[in-house]
Amino acid sequence: MSSEAWGWRIGLPRPLRLLLVLLTLSGLLGCKVASPAIDSFCLIAKPIHDSSRDTPETRQQVLEHNARWACICEHDCPPAGG
């Protein structure tokens, strides 16, 4: 059945319509949970240990880094909205 039989028509040449469909599908196929960047990060990143000589600001940054590391690499994220 042609597209006109369904009551709609795209005024584009067939190769452009095909390209539009392929681009749309490629965007959907590119979605996945873990990206290579995250996988690489988890291979090299480690939790950081603070020192008694660190400033409070540095200790806070260490806590933030370790929380991100645990969430990304250990899948130990805080509950949403909390």
Amino acid 24: pLDDT: 74
Report pLDDT for 51. Answer: 93
Tell which wins on pLDDT, 15 or 4.
Answer: 15
Question: Alpha-carbon distance 74 to 68, whole Å?
Answer: 9
Return the sign of the alpha-carbon dihedral for residues 51, 73, 64, 78: negative
Distance CA 30, CA 26 (A): 6
pLDDT digits (tens, 9 = 90+) for 18-67: 777 777 766 666 555 556 666 788 888 899 999 999 999 999 999 999 99
Position 73 pLDDT exceeds 80 = yes
Q: Which residue has the higher pLDDT, 6 or 43?
A: 43
pTM (predicted TM-score):
0.50
Give buried/exposed letters for 28-51 (b at 16+ CB in 10 A, else e): eeeeeeeeeeeeeeeeeeeeeeee
